[in-house]
Structure 1
Amino acid sequence: MDGVPPAGGSERLLFICLQGLGNLILAEPAVRAARERHPGAAITVLVRRRAYLPLVARFPARVEAALLEPATVARLAARRFHVSYTCFPANDARFDLVTRLLGARERVGHRYPLRKRLRLPGTYTREVAVAPVDDVRQNLALVGEGLAATAPRLRVEPAPGPAPLLGIHPGSSTARRMGLKRWPAGHFRALVGRALEEVAGLTVWLFAGPGEEELAAGIAAGLGPRVEVIAGHPLVEVAELLAACTCVVANDSGLMHLAAAVGTPTVGLFGPTDPARTAPAGGLALQAPGVACAPCWPLLDVGRRPPCPHEERLCLVRLTPDQVWAAVAPRLVPHPAAAVA
């Protein structure tokens, strides 16, 4: 079955990473820390989407990847892992169920102040309290105390591309109100137009995930041949294309974290979400000034996403293209390739 490694090594460790792309990337430093602490261990990372398997293969720790499906769960349970780590955020009884089915001898997870669904008693043999820190540190706390936080990394070689090259990701997941994280399309279009006017020879790549092609095409319409929509590529190729960019501007999304993980200077645009949790590693998180209700998705009450009470999403509408351009302009200079060997 896909990604299930042969048994081996003195220890068998399992990372259960069943969230989205960004969450998987933010778990990478914890996987790397486990490899450093247990160099001879057989480490498996369990993911929920087949598209993520090649990305796990690009983790510097060189672990194995497994896809969540019934046959894989049975095979992994038979491996009798010594320790499983249920990565953050997992504020849902479905994560508890998978953890219990996999049946590691020691099962490590978080203790959440607010549970979204009924807890399955006895799931974890060790619980770590959710702390007011970023997601990288939340995951590191599962592996051990006092571990130094490092930025997520992927082993990626940049694709060939023009220079200077501005990458834009105007989308995000729309599941569970996450579409509320999107900066207005008109703002993105104004930013691209300003960049083309200000930077001689600039090329702009508009990255579109599944279902985002129309959004990207609408932003690109009429802006000329130096604006190209990038869609339909496997995630590893997307990572290589992001690594070729001089700078990337994105909503708080998986592609934002992917760009940061391959070493590209990244500007993240934040509205309801809290950059204290998910700012792009090594990059810049921008928020609209003077919006008292933002961020409204609490750091500690993970999974609580109240609807916006305003007709306009003030936290994003009031973050102007001029403010974003002021942050992007100095980053549109060539940067050395940051691929991890």
Structure 2
Amino acid sequence: MAEAPRLLVVGPSWVGDMVMAQSLFITLKRRHPGATLGVVAPPWSEPILARMAEVDEVHPLAVGHGEFGLGIRRAVAQRLKGRFDRAIVLPRSWKAALVPFLARIPERAGFLGEQRYGLLTERRPLDKKALDQTVKRFVALGLPENEAADGAFDIPLPRLAVSGDSQDSLRERLGLGGRPAIGMMPGAEYGPAKQWPLEYFHALAARLIEDGFAVRILGGPRDHPAGEAIVAGLAHAHNLCGETSLAEAVDLLADCEQVVTNDSGLMHVAAAVGTRVQAIYGSSSPAYTPPLTGNAHIHYLGLYCSPCFKRVCPLGHTNCLNHLYVDPVYRAVRDGAERIPALEPQ
């Protein structure tokens, strides 16, 4: 009987992409029972990877966006030498393939990109029509090339583990009360062309609070001012941006009835913990990076200029979001609510 392989994945650098990479991890474990799976990833991603049952080892690569960091890559590669049989490199950059190459991992697979001919032993062409979603591209690299070429393969949905004990302590520590919660994620690291107007978030929050819900704004420290704008003047609205760790955000999102969110990393986290997602798309496309769940409602106008995939609207109007008004999103939240709370006494 052949020994179970030792597999290494060089992971992506964004929260949403790392969540989507779990579909690959699940595929690898199903294809190779008993395999050891390690992931080379940015240190920030460790709390996310810790919630994935398929990941056996995490090897942090503390290199910033755009940083070459040859010395750091060499050090990580040195620790990996002799420990893995095959590496899968998800990013298409030249530097992403360096660690498996320097670690002398015998098989190193990835898509063609940035002249990586000497770094990869298996260089696959990328058919963007057949592999028309990010998650498909990830999963394809875990399959034999002849099975993956047409894009007609199963994609297992990500599923992050949740801590009930953490949820209880967070509700108490943050004073979140007992109302059923709607999460809101106003941030999008990519840029303003993916961000629904803050005044729309505020108006939606006010209506939902009047209906008996609580609202939780989640995001990083840079999203804190946006959170303040949304909760301004509202009772039962909590700006948690920058107040929680990434692991705590996982548990808080799982504790929400629904979330209303831009196309962002936390959108993918919410989908992966099973919370109903109201996903708002502007410059990006729900066909390319959809929330990987059967429990989502997509809000997308599909204007003639969409999707442009730009950080800032090239036409200067951002009508793909400005014309996506509050009413249809509010109705979708109410239609999808498992519990319609009774109004509290005034």
Q: Does structure 2 retain, via aligned residues, the 8 Å contact 1:128–1:142?
A: no
Letter in 1 for 2:307: P
Deviations 1:83-104 (A, max 9, x none): 11112xx243332334433442
Q: Does structure 2 retain, via aligned residues, the 8 Å contact 1:181–1:273?
A: yes
Q: Does structure 2 retain, via aligned residues, the 8 Å contact 1:57–1:64?
A: no
Does residue 221 of structure 1 match 2:232? yes
Counterparts in 2 of 1:54 and 1:307: CA distance versus 1, 3 Å: closer
Does residue 243 of structure 1 match 2:237? no
Deviations 1:153-201 (A, max 9, x none): 1111342453421000101215xxx34211111111111122223x2x2
Q: CA deviation at 1:203?
A: 0.6
Q: CA deviation at 1:80?
A: 4.9
Q: CA deviation at 1:314?
A: 1.3
Query: Could you say which residue in structure 1 is the equivalent of 2:66?
Result: none
Query: Could you say which residue in structure 1 is the equivalent of 2:101?
Result: 100
Letter in 2 for 1:311: G
Q: Does structure 1 retain, via aligned residues, the 8 Å contact 2:4–2:32?
A: no
Does residue 172 of structure 1 match 2:188? yes
- Tell me the distance in 1 between the aligned counterparts of 2:77 and 2:29: 23
Q: Does structure 2 retain, via aligned residues, the 8 Å contact 1:164–1:333?
A: no
Q: CA deviation at 1:286?
A: 1.4
Query: Could you say which residue in structure 2 is the equivalent of 1:110?
Result: 111
Query: Could you say which residue in structure 2 is the equivalent of 1:314?
Result: 319
Q: Does structure 1 retain, via aligned residues, the 8 Å contact 2:49–2:58?
A: yes
Q: What residue ranges of structure 1 are gaps of 5+ in the alignment?
A: 1-8, 298-304, 336-341
Query: Could you say which residue in structure 2 is the equivalent of 1:339?
Result: none
Q: CA deviation at 1:271?
A: 0.9
Does residue 252 of structure 1 match 2:263? yes
DSSP-derived class of the 1:208 partner = coil
Q: CA deviation at 1:14?
A: 0.5
- Tell me the distance in 2 between the aligned counterparts of 1:250 and 1:229: 15
| Higher relative contact order structure (alpha carbons within 8 Å, sequence separation ≥ 6) | 1
Query: Could you say which residue in structure 2 is the equivalent of 1:121?
Result: 117
Within the candidate set 10, 14, 33, 1:16 is matched to 10
Letter in 1 for 2:106: R
Query: Could you say which residue in structure 1 is the equivalent of 2:175?
Result: none
Does residue 75 of structure 1 match 2:79? yes
Letter in 2 for 1:292: Y
Query: Could you say which residue in structure 2 is the equivalent of 1:140?
Result: 139
Q: CA deviation at 1:242?
A: 0.3
DSSP-derived class of the 2:298 partner = strand
Does residue 288 of structure 1 match 2:298? no
DSSP-derived class of the 1:79 partner = coil
Letter in 2 for 1:322: D
- Tell me the distance in 1 between the aligned counterparts of 2:125 and 2:56: 24
Q: What residue ranges of structure 2 are gaps of 5+ in the alignment?
A: 63-71, 172-177, 341-346
Query: Could you say which residue in structure 2 is the equivalent of 1:301?
Result: none
- Tell me the distance in 1 between the aligned counterparts of 2:193 and 2:99: 29
Q: Does structure 2 retain, via aligned residues, the 8 Å contact 1:96–1:119?
A: no
Deviations 1:124-148 (A, max 9, x none): 2221524333222211110113641
Structure with the greater alpha carbon radius of gyration: 2
Q: CA deviation at 1:288?
A: 2.1
Taking only the aligned residue pairs, the percentage that are identical comes to: 31
Query: Could you say which residue in structure 2 is the equivalent of 1:202?
Result: 213
Query: Could you say which residue in structure 1 is the equivalent of 2:58?
Result: 65
Deviations 1:59-78 (A, max 9, x none): 131421110142323212x1
Deviations 1:186-237 (A, max 9, x none): 111111122223x2x211001121211111011111112x001113211111
- Tell me the distance in 1 between the aligned counterparts of 2:23 and 2:335: 28
- Tell me the distance in 2 between the aligned counterparts of 1:58 and 1:130: 31
- Tell me the distance in 2 between the aligned counterparts of 1:153 and 1:183: 26
Q: Does structure 1 retain, via aligned residues, the 8 Å contact 2:257–2:276?
A: yes
Query: Could you say which residue in structure 2 is the equivalent of 1:149?
Result: 155
Q: Which moved more, 1:96-105 or 1:14-23?
A: 96-105
Query: Could you say which residue in structure 1 is the equivalent of 2:68?
Result: none
TM-score by length of 2: 0.82
Letter in 1 for 2:206: G
CA RMSD of superposed structures (Å): 2.1
